[in-house]
Amino acid sequence: MRLKVTKFLVTFLMVAALMLGGCSTQQVSSSTSSPAGTATETSNTTTTEATPVPETTSESIPGMSNLPRLEGKATVVMTVKGSPITIEVDGTNAPITAGNFVDLVQKGVYDGLAFHRVVREPQPFVVQGGDPQGKDPKFPAGRLGTGGYIDPKTGSERYIPLEIKPKGADQPIYSKTFEMAGVTTSPELTHKQGAIAMARSQMPDSASSQFYFALADLGFLDGNYAVFGYVTQGFDVVNKIQQGDRIDSAKVTQGAENLKVPQ
């Protein structure tokens, strides 16, 4: 019994740490909130389902047609402290999430940004970055984790819906965790070591630009957060990242033609 309780407490503390690092109270609509770390869903977040959405289609989600989409796969090379990390971005199973990431890479959003949260104790968890506020060297490090990408066309923060494809399904489920949607299968893209996924607040549709690398197999996050690719080379570089380290650059090296950006 003591071992089970200890394991539960470790898991709880890790997820809590991921949430506390960057929650903001901004609410932009009935179905979105500001981006931050990740957390398990609680009963007070289910109010985000105000607009019914078909679980296997995206056409009814407001703003979906205005988001970038990756139709296929792409390769991104992210350089940290002079060393490359190669990421295969999977738009086949997560077209909106992958498209958002590749579009931000193409725009240079991630260049120079800091990794503001690194959790390795009590056991390997995540390395998280992608807050554009980190571009400003004077921005307080303790407040990183509260920002997202501001679209210059609208002057507002770009949010993307939670997008997770069940194994064997034709389409992803949008705006719902698997628990909320009653899905009992595993996702196509799981939180195995080396996964890259979108960070968000408790609201399902609050991801923007922040992402995290899984430092270990994190199956307890499957069905709750959107994995969109995997590190294929350079995981040793990810393992050496320390809080405060910055991304030298991020470049799309293959598959740029698969990115479809609304005009």
Q: Where are the domains of the chain?
A: 2-26+54-260
Tell me if 240 sits within 8 A of 115, measured CB to CB.
no
Q: Residue 263 — pLDDT band, cuts 50, 70, 90?
A: confident
What global pTM score does this model have? 0.82
177-229 tens-digit pLDDT = 999 999 999 999 999 999 999 999 999 999 999 999 999 999 999 999 999 99
Integer-rounded Cα radius of gyration of the chain: 17
* pLDDT range class, residue 60, cuts 50, 70, 90: low
pLDDT band at 49 (very low <50, low <70, confident <90, very high): very low
CATH class of 2-26+54-260: mainly beta
Query: What is the model's pLDDT at position 59?
Result: 54
